[in-house]
Chain A
Amino acid sequence: MKQKIANIASAEQFEKPVYSASLAVFRVVFGFMLFFSTVRFWLKGWIEELYINPKMFFTYWGFEWVHPLGQYTYLLFIVCGISALFFALGLYYRIASILLFLSFTYIELMDKTNYLNHYYFVTLVLFLMMWLPANVNFSLDAMRKPQISKRFVPLWTVGSIRMMMSIVYVYAGLAKLNSDWLIEAMPLRLWLPANNDMPLLGPLFNHLWVAYFFSWFGALYDLTIPFFLLNRKTRQYAYATVVVFHLLTAALFPIGVFPYVMIVSALVFFDSKDADKFVQRMKEFWPFLHADDDKDMFGYKPKRAKLLRSMFVLFFTIQIIMPWRYLLNKGELFWTEDGYRFSWRVMLMEKMGYAQFIVKDAATGNKITVNNNEFLTRNQERMMATQPDFILQYAHYLHDEFTTRGVHNPEVYATIYVAMNGRRSRLYADTTVDLAKETDTWRPKKWILDFDDKIHGL
């Protein structure tokens, strides 16, 4: 056992050759998934709805300079879609992967209203993929330049993708280890009955025990699935579970392509030997692809390898630490959401808010009740009403907007009610605080009122 741990930790273990087909297959499925995701986004009219129609956009801290580009936003999606296609085909892979990473990330940064955990996951995976030799096999690049074709890559290249997926699953599982999820079966208890008109399974969702079953199974699934996928003996059953589990979540919840992203991404856990067999067979069908049966192994130049190694270590260190950053804040995480985003808290709470803003003219004392629909889309309004950083940004926006409308030194007050996981709604923010004077910092926000309840657990 000791020896085994020592082996895993040793550098040689990381450099162990595995079949490059594993990485190549992942590149193909991931790339096509992103391509179709982009097309889907476009066809549903969401580019216009989310990035062109809204009056204001909620920016990320440090990325305030990222804005939609008006009609050129479509161009951005074209770049993203085409580079996803090139990425999948392994054509001009280096450039395609960089463009894909940049365009996809830029799109995600345009409005945090649309933040989804799976988009964040895609961004992180794309970041890794930029540095990995995913085009040395089963690619048009390898056909164009047979000299880059390699049948083997170091284990850590495939391993880093597996690692990334494992982090997502395990952290998503850890986040579920709380009293609301396990003891109250919230929020599934609210969400499942909403689907009780679904064929076959629908009637089941009326039963409370089903909500408990889903909650517990969900937590256990997330916590253990990477290990079952890594283990050769359990892998095929685990993968079957992945497919069933994610198809079920796709049927139940409006979470778009996420289930499919996970289903295809989990293929990366399969033995690289199997991937190699698959790719070799494909090459028999498509003789134009470079068929290599040599023993060549891809290797980075020593200097580059060293740099990459440090970068990946840093990357994963951040990934492992970041979800815990909420521990630095005293308030209830679900309530204040300090440290909620970027930590794989997926489908974890039902939170709904109602925010009524009042702009007061400091000179005349006149009060104007703000109609949120004048400035925000319904989705933006919904996101804004429960998340402090949105609330502040909106307050500042109102301050500026009403200044141009001739209000003297506008003061912005808000009456906000928030209900969470079936609890009665309560006042969320101090109604006497001029929110336009508050700033979004790393420190706890004093104007958020206490949650008055405790959610136990991680």
Chain B
Amino acid sequence: MKKWPLFLGLMLVVMLAAISCNKEGNEPAPIAQLDRKPMLENYANNFIAPAYAKMTTDVEALESAVSAFVATPDQTKFIAAQQALATAYLQWQKTDLYEFGPAEGAQLRSYMNTYPVTVSKVTDNISSGTYDLESFGNRDAQGFPAMDYLLNGTDMSMYTTGANAAGRKAYLSAVVAKMAEKIKAVNTDWSTYKSTFIESTGTDVNSSLSQVVNGCVLYYERYLRGGKIGIPAGVMSGTPSVGHVESFYSPENSIPFAVAALNEVKNFYTGGTAASMQTYLAAIGTKDDNGMLMADLIQQEMTEAINSMKGLNGTLIDNINNNRTSVLQAYDEIQDVVPLLKVDMVSAFSISITYTDNDGD
């Protein structure tokens, strides 16, 4: 019995000795930054909700531009619709990474941006006049890629003098209506989901942090790195396939879209001036071998990825055809961020990925 105080005392002494020997141990614990709630508030209020709100506005603007064009088709209205599409499609790059919570439930991405568009499905739908845009088989015949084909890959005259112009106009309207329906639903759901999101401050599988991190990392790896660059450049298959670039019928947009998407991921990670994954990771304090905070290293690598993408002149298609080495270099820069997010950040956050028991070993 008497041994206990002795042991405790001894332990405290050794412990304090260890802490004082250790440089990092001298830093005061950054308590406020380790609170997850401000980060979730920042994300919900300043990133996710505004992104869906703006996305909704842009799709509604596209919808009205399309309906004006369909009512009395002319070149001016056609160009206006094209511009509205470009605006909305760009905003999509700043929205797509938030596919968790309501958007994940609605499978928003698959309705909005499954590319490449399958043109034969679009033309079949137009000629048959009967189609169900809810059906899984039509995911690659709607959304932004279909709009891109219908407005940028099709001559204006097809809507006036072309065969089945009426059917074409109807399909154009139907596609944009479905997009508006989907995005509005998610936008509405977010307004109620927001408080749930902010209050779920844990680190278990269902927690908001887990949702955000897993959603973003999946997006970055599969849809940004893989979808926008890797697949068209043939990183996985060895053979390039430019038909798989995003925004194929307005190819000048592919690189700006990729850059916008990368920027959004970076902005989201850094969180502007408020609490974010970066500040939270900085508070945990993991460092690389040179003593640089992992939190800052990730930001730096993201900047490099953005710059390498920005450095490509001309369209992505041109670059893949004539300058593939540079595209592959840009891909590598983008890829460098993946393990940092998926391994370093996730393990520092100690997010659970499963409901089952785990020894942590």
Is A173 in the interface zone, CB < 8 Å from B?
no
Asked if residues A253 and B344 are in contact (CB atoms below 8 Å), the reply is no
Asked if residues A256 and B357 are in contact (CB atoms below 8 Å), the reply is yes
Asked if residues A191 and B360 are in contact (CB atoms below 8 Å), the reply is yes
Bound Cα distance A346, B360 (Å): 7
Map CB proximity to B onto A94-137 as digits: 1 under 8 Å, 0 otherwise: 00000000000000000000111110000000000000000000
Asked if residues B344 and A419 are in contact (CB atoms below 8 Å), the reply is yes
Bound Cα distance A233, B3 (Å): 11
Map CB proximity to B onto A201-226 as digits: 1 under 8 Å, 0 otherwise: 00100111100110011001000100
Residues A117 and B359 in contact in the complex (CB < 8 Å), given A208-B25, A424-B294: yes
Q: Smallest Cβ distance from A52 to chain B, in angstroms?
A: 14
Partner of A379, one of B29, B201, B286, B354: B354
A-chain residues with CB within 8 Å of residue B201 when the two chains form the complex:
197
Count of chain A residues near B, Cβ 8 A: 69
Q: Smallest Cβ distance from B158 to chain A, in angstroms?
A: 38
Residue on B nearest A209 in the bound complex, by CB: B19
Count of chain B residues near A, Cβ 8 A: 57
A-chain residues with CB within 8 Å of residue B204 when the two chains form the complex:
254
A-chain residues with CB within 8 Å of residue B202 when the two chains form the complex:
197
Asked if residues A255 and B19 are in contact (CB atoms below 8 Å), the reply is no
Is A160 in the interface zone, CB < 8 Å from B?
no
B-chain residues with CB within 8 Å of residue A184 when the two chains form the complex:
22
Within B311-361, the residues touching A (CB, 8 Å) are 338-340, 342-344, 346-361
A-chain residues with CB within 8 Å of residue B338 when the two chains form the complex:
354
Asked if residues B361 and A349 are in contact (CB atoms below 8 Å), the reply is yes
Is B34 in the interface zone, CB < 8 Å from A?
yes
Is A365 in the interface zone, CB < 8 Å from B?
yes
Residues A424 and B344 in contact in the complex (CB < 8 Å), given A194-B350, A237-B4: yes
Residue on B nearest A381 in the bound complex, by CB: B353
Q: Smallest Cβ distance from A281 to chain B, in angstroms?
A: 27
Bound Cα distance A69, B1 (Å): 52
Asked if residues A351 and B347 are in contact (CB atoms below 8 Å), the reply is yes
Is B238 in the interface zone, CB < 8 Å from A?
yes
Bound Cα distance A349, B361 (Å): 6
Residues A190 and B284 in contact in the complex (CB < 8 Å), given A345-B361, A379-B356: yes
Is A257 in the interface zone, CB < 8 Å from B?
yes
Bound Cα distance A246, B348 (Å): 24
Q: Smallest Cβ distance from A203 to chain B, in angstroms?
A: 8
Bound Cα distance A424, B202 (Å): 24
- Give me the interface of A with B, judged by CB distance under 8 Å: 44, 46, 49-50, 114-118, 182-184, 187, 189-191, 193-197, 203, 206-209, 212-213, 216-217, 220, 224, 233-234, 237, 253-258, 340, 345-354, 358, 365-369, 378-379, 382, 417-419, 422-425, 452
A and B contact pairs by CB, cutoff 8 A, 21 listed: A46-B356, A114-B356, A183-B18, A189-B284, A190-B347, A193-B350, A197-B201, A203-B31, A206-B29, A208-B25, A217-B11, A254-B352, A255-B357, A352-B347, A365-B238, A379-B354, A382-B354, A419-B339, A422-B347, A424-B288, A425-B343
Kindly list the 9 A-B residue pairs having the minimum CB-CB distance in the complex, ordered from nearest.
A256-B357, A352-B347, A417-B339, A194-B350, A369-B236, A424-B288, A194-B203, A425-B343, A422-B286
